[in-house]
Amino acid sequence: MNKIEMILFALLISLFPLNGYAEQSVEDVLIRLEEKMSDIKTLQTGFVQEKKLAIFDRKIILKGKIFLKKPNLFAWHTEEPTLYSMIIRDDVILQWDEDIDQIQKVSMKDNPAFQTVVGQMRKWLSGIYMSLLEEYSVIILGQTPVSLKFVPRENTMAYNIISHVRIVFREDERYIQEIYIKEKTGDSTLLRFTDTLLNIPVDAAAWEVKPRAR
Amino acid sequence: MLDKRKRLISVLAAVIIVFAAIGLRFVSFDNNIELMLPANQEILRSMRFLRESNISDKVILSLKLKSPEHTTHDLIQAVEKLEKSLNPPLITEVISGVSKSDLMQEMHSFLKYVPQLLNEQDLSKIAKQITNEGVKTSLSRDYRQLLTPGSGFVTPFIQSDPLGIKTGFLSNIQKLSGSLGYKVQIKDGHFISRNGRNAMLILKTLVRLTDGFGSKKLVAYLHKQLESLPEFISSDIIAGHIHTISNEDVIKRDIRLTLIIASVAFLLLFLFIFRDIRAILIFLIPLISVLVSINLSAIVLGKLSYFIIGMGAVIAGIAVDYGIHVYLAVRTGAGRSDAVKKIIKPVIIAALTTISVFAAFFFSSVQGYHQLAFFSILSIILCLICALFVLPRLLSGKHYEKLPAMLKQGSSMRSQVFDRACVACWGVIIIAAIVLLRQVEFNSDISQLDGSKPEVIQTEQEFHNVWGGADRPAILVVSGENLEEALQLNERIYTEAVNEVGLSSFAELWLSNKTRTANSARWNKFWREGREAKLKELLLEHGQAYHFSDDAFSPFFRHLYTEEIIENIPEGLTFFDRLKERFILKKADEYQVLSFFPDKDKYVKALSAVSSRYPNTFLVSRNAFSYMLSKAISSEVIFLSGIAGLLILILTCLLLRNIRLTALALVPVITGITLILGIMSVIGLSLNAPCVIAAIIVIGLCIDYGIFMVYTCAYNLKTGTRMAVSLSALTTVIGAGALLFAMHPVLFSIGITLVIGVTGGYVSALLVIPSLHRLTHPDPLLKREGKGFPFSVKRRG
């Protein structure tokens, strides 16, 4: 084996893993992930969210819990820095926070801005990523664990707002490990999930919005 | 010499038929339903509004993914390709969606106008927010929204509106955009159904709904362009133009079919009964008369309604009567043309009573009825002239064999038992029909007169299942000489009506220049009174708790004071342009601002009350329209029936010169009309405007049968009258019966009414009049034979 042949051989060897990646198209990966996440009936998970927004004078770290029950229940409870609860049942939002200390009922139909925010949140947490292909182009960043980068397509609502979204999945690919959203303004959000439990009966209290004390 | 004359007449008739047939190609037909509506101001205004507005002239294309293997993305690609292929002159604009990214930016741009749109009450509410509690509440809400993962979408809105003053306008935009009534979602800037399997394109065209030729061209063009769609996509066209074409096709097919059925039936009838090839002439006379009348009517009246021409078979069935009488007279007169003289008077008077009925339609305010009257009277006169002056010459000179036995005069002498039984049966039937007629309903829904093919209706049903929009809203129209005037009036009415009716009004989003100028001055004054400084201070103070930066809300303060007031409406905002198209109509000499509301009785009544206080406003509601139409047609019917009834009564009285005989002659009329109402109710059909026209014609036909039969009984005539009446009724029933094969509801309604009415009238004339006559006057007027008999018909045998 001469020098040129050795270089060619080395190149060939080094290409094998890449070929392995290329065999798995984005669609294949998304379908696989959707299939693994499709049997999720309930979800409860802790989260830590780091927000770096220009509107705030510091990085805001939010801690709390998310509950999800298919098909129509979603709960977002935060413990730090403020106590806040939000339950979404179909198009109705019930919320409470310790500052105002009042339970508010909001229809998403009457609040398009909030509707958009909730829509985005549901989109990233639901695991139905195939449908996102119409709004985003997807790049596979890594396979173990699976890491995907979503870049908004032109003419979509996200295009003017979001630079990209990066999602890292758990090793078993049954749920998300972290979501990173980078905005075009430079603002960013990093959401990490901890102690995720799947298909465990959710305590009824999780779907209640009521005043809480620290 | 005689043969020469006959040949000349035959050649002349052939030439007329050929020219009349050629002339048909140049006659303009109109299927505009307005022709058939009463000239009620409110009805015409609603119809004109719908015709002139661009609401009904739009075309919608609905594309559907047939194969589950293909995605919304494939569908969108096909939509984009199709969109590029749709071009002027037939398609002037294609709207396939709206870019959501633009929408967010546009909404943000639009919000700078909000200070001009807030009134004094709104400012009072804002004043209450500029307090420690108010600012804290707003900041808490903002903070919560900013902490969700999708906060990037709301950050610009929060920075430029920390108190959420403008949020209401975002919902208004959403609400008004949704008032288009379709369940759509925007994907990649395209209208996509909720299930992601259908796409919608809205096309604008200059082709009017009433333009049959243009509609055909447009639909053919669309079909051609749709052929280029991939195999996995099916398409439907939803447009009023489809109804125009379908109605035209259906009516043309019906006219063709009914004329063929009637012609064949007439021919067979005459040849079978008379067993004489010359009997064809009886059939040819009404045919020539109707053909010539169509041409002459078109020259005099211009465009002719298809509905009226559809009556051609009926008119032929009526007009053929005169030929029958003449033919029978010639045959009973052993082929002498002078035998016709004996029946000239009764035939003329029969024609006059029929003409009087049609003449009554000239008193109607319905333009289509005028056409019907003109066309029918012309046909009858032409037919009468041919029957009396041409037919005898063509029939004369031949020796005729005796008529078949079935044509012979039946015995009019029956037992009293038979007469009583006959009258009793008639009485029971009439009473039963009177009881039933109370259940009959008048259906004024104009859509029932739409004869579009079932597949057109089914396609629309499927479209509404996917996209919604089946419940069309009612419209409040506010007019003004200029846009400013119309907007001012629109605001006043909105303020007055909004609490009573859930109006979808342009006033929720945009106001007149006058109001905006006043609002703007008030807004600037409001903030200059120290509130700007106070809000800054409060935001700084309470913002710290939520870690808002010092300049977090600087966009709000930078654009706090309102800029220049624009003259009319904002330009360059796509979403606003779409809303403007829906809510504002520019006419030649005025502007109309539209508001939409649910078409429910209570709302229509409430808004009618408001509208009645403002002269430049009116409502367009299907429910109200039905009510107005029902009212207008009812009064029209009463009026026309009154005139027709009066004319018939006068003519009958003049002819019979006897109250008892006049009453007897009316038996077929009473029977015909009562049975129409009773049987319609039994078979579950409701009355409509075409039925009413047909019912009035029934009156004219039945009185003829009555008069002839009364004379036959009163003078015990043996002139073949009974036979002539039978054949007259039979030919009319054949003409009308042919309409029962019509697909178009208007022609079918006319057919069923005529068949029921004429059959009932004829049977009662044949059976009940003789019985009633014998029971009420056992001694016939034999002794007065020849006296007071205006027909100068002598008793035979």
The distance of B178 to chain A (nearest Cα, Å) reads 11
Number of C-beta neighbours around residue B540 at 10 A: 14
Same domain, B417 and B383: no
Query: Could you give phi then psi for residue B699, rounded to 5 degrees?
Result: -55, -50
Amino acid at B25: R
Say if residue B341 is in the same domain as residue B433: no
Q: Select from B263, B293, B319, B442 the least CA-distant residue to B372.
A: B293
In the 8-state DSSP scheme, what is residue B781?
G
Give me B143's structure tokens.
Answer: 């903070």
Domains of chain B: total = 2
Helices B689-715 & B667-682 angle (0-180, nearest 10): 140
Q: Residue B258 in contact with residue B748, Cβ under 8 Å?
A: no
CA angle B88, B89, B93 (to 5 degrees): 45
CATH number at residue B388: 1.20.1640.10
Distance (Å, whole) CA B89 – CA B83: 14
CA distance B188 to A158: 10
Residue showing tokens 């307005």 = B34
pLDDT surpasses 70 at A135:
yes
Handedness of CA B117, B120, B126, B127 (dihedral sign): positive
State whether residue B60 is helix, strand or coil: strand
Distance CA A91, CA A86 (A): 13
Within a domain: A36: yes
CA-based R_g, chain A, Å: 21
Judge whether A14 lies within some domain: no
Residue B307 lies in a domain: yes
Find the mean pLDDT for residues A104-112. 71
Q: Do B16 and B10 contact (CB within 8 A), yes or no?
A: no
B29 touches chain A (CB under 8 A): no
* Opening angle at CA B266, ends B264 and B272, nearest 5: 95
- pLDDT at position B485: 94
Do A173 and A32 meet the contact criterion of CB atoms below 8 Å apart? yes
DSSP one-letter code for A39: T
Closest partner residue to A117 (CB to CB) among B101, B105, B151 is B151
Rounded CA gap, B219 and B317, in Å? 37
| DSSP symbols for B128-178 | HHSSHHHHHHHHHHHHHHHHSTTGGGTHHHHHH-TT-TTHHHHHHHHHHHH
pLDDT reported for residue B374: 92
What is the largest distance, in Å, between two alpha-carbon atoms of chain A?
A: 79
Whether residues B327 and B424 fall in one domain: no
- pLDDT confidence of A187, banded at 50, 70, 90? very high
Is the pLDDT at A15 greater than 60? The verdict is no
Closest of B536, B537, B547 to residue A82, by C-alpha: B547
- pLDDT score at B690: 78
Instruction: Check if the beta carbon of residue B158 is closer than 8 Å to that of residue B146.
Output: yes
What's the alpha-carbon Rg for chain B, to the nearest Å? Answer: 36
Q: Is B171 on the interface with A (CB under 8 A)?
A: yes
Asked if the model's pLDDT at residue A63 lies above 90, the reply is: yes
Closest CA to B441 of B676, B623, B681, B639: B681
- Chain B hits for A110, CB-CB cut-off 8 Å, are 171
Q: Do B380 and B318 share a structural domain? A: yes
Q: Which residues pair with A36 in a beta bridge?
A: none
Angle at CA of residue B164, ends B112 and B511, nearest 5°: 45
- pLDDT of res. B654: 82
With 0-12 / 13-18 / 19 or more C-beta atoms within 10 angstroms meaning exposed / middle / buried, residue B15 is exposed
Q: Are residues B424 and B353 in the same domain?
A: no
In whole angstroms, give the CA distance from residue B658 to residue B750: 33
CA distance B176 to chain A (A): 12
What tokens were used for B280? 């064809």
| Residue A158 domain-assigned (yes or no) | yes
Degrees to nearest 5, angle at CA B569 with B567 and B570: 110
- Whether A103 contacts chain B with CB within 8 A: no
Q: Residue A22's pLDDT band (boundaries 50, 70, 90)?
A: very low
In a domain, A212, yes or no: no
Q: What is the DSSP string of A99-137?
A: TT---EEEEGGG-HHHHHHHHHHHHHHH---GGGGGTEE
What b-and-e string marks burial along B729-751, b requiring 16 or more CB atoms within 10 Å of the CB? Answer: bbbbbbbbbbbeebbbbbbbbbb
What residues of chain B score a pLDDT lower than 50?
Answer: 405-412, 780-797
The CA–CA distances, whole Å, from B753 to A6, A179, B435, B693 equal 99, 74, 19, 9
Find out whether A133 and A30 touch, Cβ atoms under 8 Å: yes
In single-letter form, the type of residue at position B393 comes to R
Do B705 and B739 sit in the same domain of this protein?
Answer: yes
Q: Is B408 helix (H, G, I), strand (E, B) or coil?
A: coil
pLDDT exceeding 70 applies to what percent of chain A?
81
Which three-class secondary structure state does DSSP give residue A156?
A: coil
C-alpha–C-alpha distance, residues B51 and B589, integer Å: 16
Which residues on chain B are in Cβ contact (under 8 Å) with A56? 146, 546-549, 552
**pLDDT confidence tier of residue A14, bands split at 50, 70 and 90:** very low
- Torsion on CA atoms B335, B339, B340, B343, rounded to nearest 10: -130
**Domain span including residue B719:** 410-438+657-797
Q: Which CATH number characterizes residue A143's domain?
A: 2.50.20.10
Q: Which residues have a Cβ under 8 Å from the Cβ of A41 and sit 6 or more positions away?
A: A69, A70, A199
B29 beta partners: B304
Structural domain boundaries, residue A130 = 25-64+110-205
pLDDT at residue A41 greater than cutoff 90: no
DSSP state of A94: E
Q: Which of residues 18-77 of A touch B (CB under 8 A)?
A: 49, 51, 53-58, 60, 62, 76
- Helix %, strand %, coil % for chain B, to 5? 65, 10, 25
In chain A the first and final C-alpha atoms are separated, in Å, by 73
Q: Is residue A79 part of a domain?
A: no
Question: B726 and B781 share a domain?
Answer: yes
Contacts of residue B549 in chain A, CB cutoff 8 Å?
Answer: 54-57
Residue B270 to residues B249, B338, B380, B541: CA-CA distances in angstroms? 31, 22, 20, 104
CB atoms within 10 A of CB B149: 24
Chain B residues whose beta carbon lies within 8 Å of the beta carbon of residue A116: 150, 153-154
Q: Which residue of B has its CA nearest to A116?
A: B153
**B103 φ, ψ (degrees, to nearest 5):** -60, -45
Tokens of B236: 């439907």
**Does one domain contain both B669 and B784?**
yes
Q: How far is A162 from chain B (nearest CA, A)?
A: 7
Question: Within this chain, do residues B700 and B776 fall inside the same structural domain, yes or no?
Answer: yes
**CA dist., res. B353 & res. A125, Å (int):** 83
Same-domain check for residues B377 and B426: no
CB B661 within 8 A of CB B724: no
Provide the CB-side half-sphere exposure for B83 (13 A, CA). 18
- Residue B773 sits in the same domain as residue B682: yes
What is the Cα–Cα distance from B577 to B198, expressed in whole angstroms?
A: 25
Q: Does A141 map to a domain?
A: yes
In terms of Cα–Cα distance, which of A135, A71, A166 is closest to B101?
A135
CB contact under 8 A, B146 and A183: no
**DSSP character for B796?**
P
- Rounded CA-CA distance B118/B471 in Å is 32
Tell me the one-letter amino acid at B252.
K
Token output for B258: 């009914």
Interchain CB distance below 8 Å, A60 and B100: no
For residue B685, give the DSSP letter: P
Q: Is residue A153 part of a domain?
A: yes
Cα(B426)–Cα(B670) distance, integer angstroms: 11
The number of folded domains in chain A is 1
Count the alpha carbons within 13 Å of A106 in the hemisphere toward its beta carbon.
20
> Do B420 and B340 share a structural domain?
no
ipTM value for the complex: 0.78
Examine residue A119 and state whether it is found in any structural domain, yes or no. yes
Q: CB–CB of B660/B776 below 8 Å?
A: yes
Q: Which chain A residue shows the shortest CA-CA distance from B152? A: A161
Write the CA distances from B436 to B542, B566, B682, B684, B783, integer angstroms. 79, 66, 7, 11, 43
Let me know how long chain B is: 797
Instruction: Specify whether the backbone of B638 is left (phi greater than 0), alpha (psi in -120 to 50) or beta.
Output: alpha
Nearest to A121 among B144, B148, B548 (CB): B148
Q: Which residues of A touch B170 (CB under 8 A)?
A: 111-113
The predicted pLDDT at position A6 comes to 46
Q: Is B197 on the interface with A (CB under 8 A)?
A: no
